[in-house]
Chain A
Amino acid sequence: MLGILRDLLRYNAEFRIGTVLVGFVLLLSVLSGFSPYPPQDVYVVPPDVPPSPAYWFGTTSRGQDVFWQLTFAIRNTLLFGCTVALISRILALVIGLVSGYKGGWIDRVLMSINDTFIVIPLLPILVLFYFVMRDSMSWLMLALIMACLGWAYDARLIRSVAMSLKNREFTQSSVFSGMSTREILVQEHLPYVMPIVFSTTMNNMIWSIGLEVTLAVLGFTDINTPTIGGMIYWANQHTAMVAGVWWWIAFPTIAVVMTFIGLFLLAVSMNEYIDPRSRLSRMGRVTS
C-alpha cells in the first residue's frame, strides 16, 4: 500500500497537488484543537479588523478571529460531508448493484423505493424536518437525513451500468463457472462501477455541503455551531460584502474550494491508478 502511495506521489502530478491541498485543509481542522477561543463565543476580539499580523485572516463583525473560526468550520463541514457521502455510497452501491444484476421483482421493488426517494423534493422535506424537530436537529441527524435522501440518484446510475454489465460475456462466464451473486458483484462488477462511485462521491460531497450552505443561508440549520455555511450566514446577516468585510467570506470560500479541488484530484488520480485499462495506456506513455 505504502509503495503504491509513494509511486503515485512520485509520478502523478495530480495526486501530488491533491495531497498538498487536502493536507493543508486537514491541518487547518486539526489546528482547531489549539484554538484560544471557544468556537461559539462572540465579541472576544475587536471586530472588523482586516488581515494583519495580529489576526492572520482578520476578524468578523461579531468579534471573532476568522482564522480560528475557520479551523472549526472546516472541521465540522468536512466531518459532515464525509458522513453523508459514506452512508449514501454504501446505500447506493448495495441497492444499485443488486437491483441491476438481479432484475425481476427485486429490481422492481427496489426501484419503486428508489423512485419515491428521487421524487421527494429535497428542500421542503429538509425544511419541514427542521421545523418539526427544531433543536433536536443536530448535525448527525441532518447528515443521516441527507444520506437517506441522497443515495437515490446514484443508485440509478449504478443500476444502469450494472444492467449493461449483466448482459456482457464475462458475466455469463462467471455465472457458468459457478460464482455466487455476491462474488460476481464484488469481484467482477465492482471495478467497473468504482470510477462512477468515485466521481459520484465527489459530487455527493459537493452536493451535501452545498445543500448545507443553502440551508444555512436560509437560517434552517443550527447556526451556532460553526460551519462554512454558518460563517456565510453570519457574514450575510452583517452585510459583510457591502460593508467591505470581504475577508469574512473570502477565506471560508477559499478553504472549501481548496478542499474540493484537492479531494477531486486525489479521487481522479487514484481512480486512474486502480482502473486496469487506463494503466495499460499509462504504461505505454511511461516507456515511450
Chain B
Amino acid sequence: MSRIGALLLAVCALTSQLFLSTSASAQGIPQNIPRKELLILENPEGTIKNAGWFNIWAINAGSQSNGLQQAALDTLWYIDPESGLDGVWDNSLAADKPQYNADFTEMTAKLRKGIFWSDGVEFTAEDVIATVMIQIKNPGMRFSAVLASNVASVDAPDPYTVVFKLKKPNSRFHANFTVRWNAIWIMPKHVFEKVEDPAKFDFNKPVSLGAYVLNSYDPDGKWYIWQLRDDWQRTTLARYGKPGPKYLAYVDPGPPDKRVIAQLNHELDVIHDIAPEGMFALAKQSKSTVAWFKGFPYGHPDPTLPAVIFNDQNEMFKNPDVRWALALLIDIKAVSMAAYRGAATISAIGVPPTGTHPATYHQPMEAWLKDFEIDTGKRKIKPYDPTVGKQIADMLRPSMGEQIPTDPKEIAGAFGMGWWKPDPQAAQELLERAGFAKRGGAWMMPDGKPFTIRLMVEGDQRPVMTRAGSMIVQQWKQAGIDAKVDVAQGTLPTRRAAGDFDAFIGWSVETWGGHQDLSYFMDSWHSQFVAEPGKPQPARNWQRWSSPALDKIIEATRTVGFDDPKSIELGKDYVKLAVKEMPTIPLMAYNVFTAMDQTYWTGFPTSENPYTDPVPNWGNSRAMFVKLKPAN
C-alpha cells in the first residue's frame, strides 16, 4: 500500500506544479495579441464546420457573422435599426441615395471615389457589375435568384456610376443593396473573374473592402481574428474616424452558462444573447457589464415581431372570429413573465415596437386602438387595454426595486404600451358565433370534432419563444381547448415552409427599424406569393394569408417612393386591417440580451446613446468599431 501512497503523492506534486505555473487570466483569450487592443465578440453561429470558407456568396458554405460581413465586406447603403451614426440612412460605397426614373424601371447609383480593396486594387463600378453578372450566370449562389428575377441589364457609363435596368417596376430594388443585417455584398471582380466555378471557390484568404483584414482563424472553426488595415483611411468607415479596436476576435463561447462565466472573467466583451436569467445574474454580479437598457428589461428589441402565427389555410382558422377568440384568451402579462421574466416590450399591432416605429406607428394609433370595437355576436366590446405595459412594470417593482422605471414615457419605451384585455366571456361568444360548442368543458368544432391546436415551437434553439408557447398553450388549455406544445427541434424551417403546422410561435414581420417603410416584409405578403396548401411557401407570409384589401395596400406602396410619407399612411392602413382580421397574434418585440463588458472598451451603443444596434452579428454593428475607445 505504501507504493500506492508514494505514487499518489508524486502525481499530486506534478499536477500542482502545472496549476501554479499557468496564469489564470490567460486561459480563454488569443495569444500574442495585446488585450487592450482586442475586442472579443460572440459569433452566434457557434463552431463553424467549414472554417476556411470565406465566400459569402455561396449558399450555406461557411460562416457569415464571424466578422466577414461585419468587418470585412461592404455594400452601397446601410439603414440603421436605431438612429445611426449620422442619421438612419448611410451612403456607404454609394456617394448618394439611389436615383430612380419616373416609373421605377431604372435605378442609378453614384459610387464613392477613393475606396480601395485590401490588396491595393481600387473599388469601381466594375466590382458592382461583376457582383451582379457572376451571380446571374451561376444560378445557385446566394443572391442569384433575386438578381436574375429583377435585373434586365447593368452598365457602367463611367467607373463611378452604375445603371440598373429592371425587368419590371420595383421602387424598392435598392433595398437589396441596403444593409439591414445583411445585403448583397460587393464581390472583388479581380479575384472572382479568375475563378472557374464561383460557387465552389473558398475565397481564402479573403480580400477586404471593409476596414479589417483576416489575421488568423481556427481550422476547427472556434475563433476568427481580424486586424485593422494599415490603409483604413481608404475604406468607407473612415468617414467616422479611426476604429478603436486594432484587433477583433469573433469566437464561439459555448452554451449560455459559459458565456456568462466568460464575461465575468473579462474574456468576452460582447455577448450576443443569453437567457433573461443569465442577464439578470450578470447585471447583479458585474459592475462593468452594460446592456441596451440601463435597468429592466436590459435587452435590445430587434425590429422583428414574434407572434402566434396561424396557418390561415387550415379549416380551423379560416374564420377571423376564431383567431380573435384565441387572442382574447391570452394574458400577455403571464406570457411576458414566462418568456422573458417580464423583460419584454409588448405590441398589440403588427409592427415591432422598436427603432423609430413607436413614434411613427404605435403612438399615433393609440387613439384608434382605444376606440376599436369588435362585435362578439351578443354585444360590442372594446378589447384594447392601454395600461398593460404599466401593469407589467407594477408587477415587477416589488421584486426588482429601482431597476424598474417609474416615468410613464420610459415605461412605454421599455415595456410597450397596451394589449388586448383577456376576456374569456367574449372569446366564448365569438367561438359560439363561429359555430363552435362547449360540451362538458371541452370545445368542439362545428363538425363535432374536438378543437385541438398543436402550437409548434423551436425548442432549444429559441428558448424564449418556446417558453412563450408553453404559457399560451396552458392558457388555451384552461379555457377548454385541447392545446399542446409541439417541439420542432431543427425541423421548424422545413415544416414552416411546408405549412405542416396548426400554429407556431415565430415571426413573419421584420422591418428596417430605423426607417418607417414596411415593404421590407409586407411586399412578400401579397396573395400572388401565397402557395397552394401542401406546396412550400416562400418567406415571409408563413400564415398564408390572402387578403384583397391587403393586396391593394401593397400595390399602392409599390408605386410610392421609399421616403414618401404616403407610405406611412399605407402602413397605418395595414395595421388597421391586421387588427380587424388578426391573421397572426402579435406578441412582443424580439428582445436580444446583448451584454457588453466595459472593462477594456467603452462607448457601446445603449438606449441613451442609440447610434446603432449592439447585437454583434448584424452587418450594421460595424458602427460600434468607430465609437469604441479604450477604457483606461
Please give the residue numbers on chain A whose beta carbons come within 8 Å of chain B beta carbons, in ascending order.
40-43, 47, 61-63, 131, 134-135, 218-220, 223-224, 236-245
What 7 pairs across the A-B complex have the smallest Cβ distances? A219-B460, A239-B278, A243-B277, A243-B281, A242-B260, A237-B463, A238-B277
Q: Is the CB of B463 within 8 A of A43?
A: no
A224 and B278 form a contact (CB under 8 A): no
- Please give, as numbers and ranges, the residues of chain A lying within 8 Å of B570 by CB-CB distance: none
Interface size class of B (residues with CB under 8 A): 20 to 34
* Given known A-B contacts A42-B471, A244-B281, A131 and B485 have beta carbons under 8 A apart: no
CB–CB A239/B489 < 8 A: no
Assembled-state Cα–Cα distance A62/B340 (Å):
11
Bound: A8/B460 CA distance, A: 48
If over half of B's interface residues share one DSSP class (helix, strand or loop), that class is named, otherwise mixed; here it is helix
B580 to chain A, nearest CB (A): 31
Q: Does B274 contact A (CB under 8 A)?
A: yes
| B471 A219 Cβ-Cβ under 8 A | no
Contact, CB under 8 Å: B257 / A241: yes
Cβ contacts under 8 Å, A239 to chain B: 256-257, 260, 274-275, 277-278, 281
Flag whether B255 is at the interface (Cβ < 8 A): yes
User: Does B261 have its Cβ within 8 Å of any Cβ on chain A?
Assistant: yes
- Would B486 and A42 count as touching, CB distance under 8 A? no
Q: 6 new A-B pairs (CB below 8 Å) besides A219-B460, A223-B487, A242-B277?
A: A42-B471, A43-B471, A131-B491, A218-B460, A236-B255, A237-B460
- The answer to whether the Cβ of B338 comes within 8 Å of any Cβ in the partner chain is yes
Rounded to whole Å, the gap between the CB of A82 and the closest CB of chain B is: 26
- Residue B135, interface by CB 8 Å: no
| Residues of chain B lying within 8 A (CB to CB) of residue A242 | 256-257, 260-261, 277-278, 281
CA–CA, A240 to B255, complex, Å? 12
Q: Which of B465-494 contact A (CB under 8 A)?
A: 466-467, 470-471, 474, 484-491
17 contacts between A and B (CB under 8 A): A41-B474, A43-B334, A62-B467, A134-B486, A134-B491, A218-B460, A219-B489, A236-B257, A237-B466, A237-B467, A239-B256, A239-B274, A239-B275, A240-B277, A242-B281, A243-B280, A243-B281
* List of A residues within 8 angstroms of B575 by Cβ: none
A131 touching B490, Cβ below 8 Å: yes
| Shortest Cβ gap from B490 to chain A (Å) | 7
The answer to whether A61 touches B277, judged by C-beta atoms less than 8 angstroms apart, is: yes
Contact B256 A62 (CB under 8 A): no
- Say yes or no: B474 contacts A238, CB within 8 Å: no
Minimum CB–CB distance from B285 to chain A (whole Å) comes to 9
Is the C-beta of B85 less than 8 angstroms from some C-beta in chain A?
Answer: no
* Least CB distance, A226 to chain B, in whole angstroms: 13
| Distance, CA A238 to CA B274, complexed state (A) | 9
Interchain nearest-CB distance for A90 vs B (Å): 33
The distance from the CB of B461 to the nearest CB of chain A, in whole angstroms, is 8
CB distance from A239 to the nearest CB of B (A): 4
Contact at A43–B277, with CB atoms within 8 Å? Answer: no
Write the nearest CB–CB distance from A10 to chain B, whole angstroms. 33
Bound together, the chains give a CA A237 to CA B341 distance in angstroms of 13
With A131-B491, A223-B487, A242-B257 as contacts: A42 and B474 at CB distance below 8 Å = yes
Q: Which residues of A contact B260 (CB under 8 A)?
A: 239, 242
CB of B337 within 8 Å of the partner chain:
yes
A contact residues around B603 at 8 Å (CB): none
Query: What string of 1s and 0s marks CB contacts (under 8 Å) between B248-274 and chain A?
Result: 000000011100110000000000001
| A224 cross-chain contacts in B, Cβ below 8 A | 470, 485
Chain A residues with CB under 8 Å of B275's CB are: 237-239
Instruction: Please measure, in the bound complex, the distance between the C-alpha atom of A223 and the C-alpha atom of B467, giving whole angstroms.
Output: 12
Q: Which residues of B contact A240 (CB under 8 A)?
A: 277
Distance A131 CA – B260 CA, assembled complex (angstroms): 31
B residues in contact with A245, CB < 8 Å: 277
Is the pair B338, A42 in contact by a Cβ cutoff of 8 Å? yes
Closest approach, in angstroms, between the C-beta of A135 and any C-beta of chain B? 6
Residues in chain B near residue A43, CB distance under 8 A: 334, 337-338, 471
Q: Which residues of B contact A218 (CB under 8 A)?
A: 460
Contact between A219 and B277, CB atoms less than 8 A apart? no
Chain A residue numbers with a CB within 8 Å of B454 are 135
